Structure 1
Amino acid sequence: MDTSSSKVFYNLLLSQPRTCSHLLTRILNLPAQPAVHKHPGDGYFFMDIIGARFAKKLSGTGIATFSEDKVPAYHTILQKCVKDMEDWVKEVAETGKGCFVKQHVCWMIDPVSEINFIRDLKIDGQEAWDFGGKVDRTEVKSERSEGNDTVLPDALLKEFCPTFLIRHPALAFPSMVRASRDALDSPDGQNWELNYHWSKRMYEWYASRLSVQEKRSATNGIEFPIVLDSDDIEHPPLVEKYAQAIGLDKSLLRWKWPVVTPQEVEQNGMIMARMKDTLMNSQGIVKGKSSEGLDVEVEKEKWMKEFGEDLGGKLCLLVDKAMEDYEWLRERRLRA
């Protein structure tokens, strides 16, 4: 990460599903930002993991417990994802520009860390999976310090300026269950995604590992890691403040856009189209999506009716469990 006065920002948006990351990148207008080398897919270096998990019905389970015929294949896919991210850093460096890419935190989590959290189980003798690679054209072993639960080495994580995007669990989690049910036919395997445990862990890791220079943004008084709450995205002063801090031109932000064409929807594919359906059918920010006035207990009653007692009850428990981490992160959010 460049720490000079002419610092370029390798921005990494660390989100969870259904936290309005597509809306944020639409507003930031990345294709028009001169300081950004645009990634064709906005990042999502670990997208191949999703296909593997659902094809083999691995979602929400502990990868480290699976049979030998599944684990090696999953390891190979993860290793390719890490390499793709490393290659992207090199490509950006050659342009002399910065970047803005995003990634769902849970997709990057080491399988051993995953099972330890999801199953509340410590596997004796099971070490984190290793993914060697290159950072700054130097061969490195995948050295990960305490608190780094991802498959990425510390050196690669520290190449980026992190922003954590959060959304109230009572809004994000049921939305994810609906999207999974419609697009992936797997509404009951989302323990893996419906939490803020790893977001908090990564925030703490970055806060303790970045140097004073590495924490500096383009705005005095704002430091990395940054937290954004999706409730605040609809407020132009806050987004302008954020854009300026991460090295973007705030005058290029856009708050209106055309509805996408049927051809564009088809190009996105079924799953991505389902995940972006609200944005694709909008011409700007859709009101009524924030947590203002939200009564969680009333929402829980709705979930029980919508999803049934088993899934509805599970959703209630997941929301309750995530609230402490969400509130902890929200206290640290960027404010206008």
Structure 2
Amino acid sequence: MAAATEQNPKRLFLVSIPRTASNLFVKVINILNQPNVFTNEKAGYFFYPALVSASAKNFFNTPLDKWTDEMKTEMRQLYQQCFDNLEAASAEARDKGKLMFTKEHAFWFVNPAFMLEVLPDPSANGSGEVTARSHQESFRLTMPEAYGPSETFSPLNKTLLSDEYLRTWQFAFLIRHPALAWPSMYRAMMNLSSKLHMMDEDGIKGAMLSNMTWKWTRYLFDWCREQSGGSTVPLVLDAHDVIHNQEVVLQFCDRAGLDRSAVQFEWDDGKQGVPSGWTAGKQNGESGGPDGAPDVSKEAAKIMTSTLVASKGIIKDKAPAAVDIDAEVEKWKAEFGPEAAGLIEKTVRDAMPDYEYLREFRLKV
């Protein structure tokens, strides 16, 4: 990773997944009130508008080999606008001499060529990886000249962003046990479907398979380690430790260049409804609410942050010390029915090796 200087303060990129208590973590470290930090009203989510627009148009439920040139161009332009907004914020942070902070979900800035890689014919040579690589150029972003004349994408880099660009950020990762995160995500998606009609049954299944995985996080984590020859381990936090161990949060701040004196574990700010950043206007690509229809971003934020908004501090019973997957499966069957419970169980068990791998590197005190 590039070293920070007075002229080029370092940038902190927090990689999360929905329902990993990332909004809670941002609240605890009080990022919007960190004295030496600059971010936007949402504390990140620069790539969120592209996801919302693509989901509304059902792009991610369309096999990659069925995408038209027009769809690819539109998607690339959406991502480009998101990237340009991130760069504009970074430039403002640099001008102010502050650390730039963003939080993004891992799935949101993965190249669609890898998200939707076409499975090969069993009789053919090659793999889905080769097929994905052949589509990767369709979504290539335009990078500022400041990041150098070349753009490389090493095998572990599945993102839209070149190796040269990624090296200018300090990465941190927030993880959570999939048996806690995945059913919470499914519950939220069902709420989004019933209240906002954002996705149908196929859309929910597609979102589950795309989001309910640690593979995108692990790819980027391993990319970070590869860049340092394995000598540097990026910061990894487990949501359980964030909730139960205050010292872990304070140590994170020390290592990430944040002010530990700004950290808060309790709050009573009297705010109700959507966090203020989600009412500060839409970025290009976000769907709004014409003709009296609800603003999708705002209404989705209500659903995704309802527990946090209603809280006055960390709720520790949301993170049990031990998780029995078999016992949880029975609860999912009762709540969601056997079919959905079966899909959640599969994604949980498939995700466990990557979760346990990442957890070995978590920050401990």
- What is the TM-score of this pair, normalised by structure 1? 0.88
Q: Give structure 2 stretches of 5+ with no counterpart.
A: 121-126, 280-296
Identify which of 243, 246, 260 aligns with 2:256: 246
Aligned to 2:136: 128
Contact 1:179 1:275 in 2 (8 A): yes
**Is 1:226 paired with 2:240?**
no
Distance in 2, Cα, partners of 1:237 & 1:334:
10
What's the CA shift for 1:206? 0.7
Distance in 2, Cα, partners of 1:262 & 1:230:
24
Deviations 1:155-209 (A, max 9, x none): 2211111001000000101101111110145432221111000111100101111
Deviations 1:106-132 (A, max 9, x none): 111111111238898345472413212
Once the two structures are overlaid, the 10-residue window that deviates more, 182-191 or 110-119, is 110-119
Distance in 2, Cα, partners of 1:51 & 1:27:
27
Distance in 2, Cα, partners of 1:5 & 1:70:
41
| CA-atom RMSD in angstroms | 2.6
Identify which of 292, 314, 325 aligns with 1:285: 314
Distance in 2, Cα, partners of 1:303 & 1:87:
43
Identify which of 322, 345, 348 aligns with 1:319: 348
Distance in 1, Cα, partners of 2:46 & 2:254:
25
1:101 partner SS: strand
Aligned to 1:218: none
What's the CA shift for 1:56? 1.6
Contact 1:82 1:151 in 2 (8 A): no
**Which amino acid in the other structure matches residue 106 of structure 1?**
F
Contact 1:207 1:225 in 2 (8 A): yes
Aligned to 1:104: 105
Contact 2:43 2:103 in 1 (8 A): yes
**Is 1:205 paired with 2:213?**
no
CA gap 1:117/1:332 in 2 versus in 1, 3 angstroms: farther
Contact 2:274 2:305 in 1 (8 A): no
2:307 partner SS: helix
Contact 1:163 1:224 in 2 (8 A): no
Contact 2:275 2:309 in 1 (8 A): no
Distance in 2, Cα, partners of 1:12 & 1:159:
10
**Is 1:156 paired with 2:179?**
no
Aligned to 1:219: none
**Is 1:81 paired with 2:89?**
no
CA gap 1:133/1:62 in 2 versus in 1, 3 angstroms: same
Once the two structures are overlaid, the 10-residue window that deviates more, 253-262 or 194-203, is 253-262
Once the two structures are overlaid, the 10-residue window that deviates more, 36-45 or 10-19, is 36-45
Name the % identity: 28
Aligned to 1:261: 272
- What is the TM-score of this pair, normalised by structure 2? 0.81
Q: Give structure 1 stretches of 5+ with no counterpart.
A: 216-222
From the two aligned structures, give the one with the greater helix fraction. 2
CA gap 1:160/1:62 in 2 versus in 1, 3 angstroms: farther
Aligned to 2:336: 307
Identify which of 261, 264, 272 aligns with 2:301: 272
Aligned positions, number? 326
Deviations 1:3-42 (A, max 9, x none): 2687843111000111011111111112322211132221
Deviations 1:260-319 (A, max 9, x none): 224758947110111111100000001211141221101111112222222221111111
Contact 1:147 1:202 in 2 (8 A): yes
Distance in 2, Cα, partners of 1:150 & 1:2:
19
Distance in 2, Cα, partners of 1:211 & 1:84:
32
1:128 partner SS: helix
Aligned to 1:188: 205
1:320 partner SS: helix
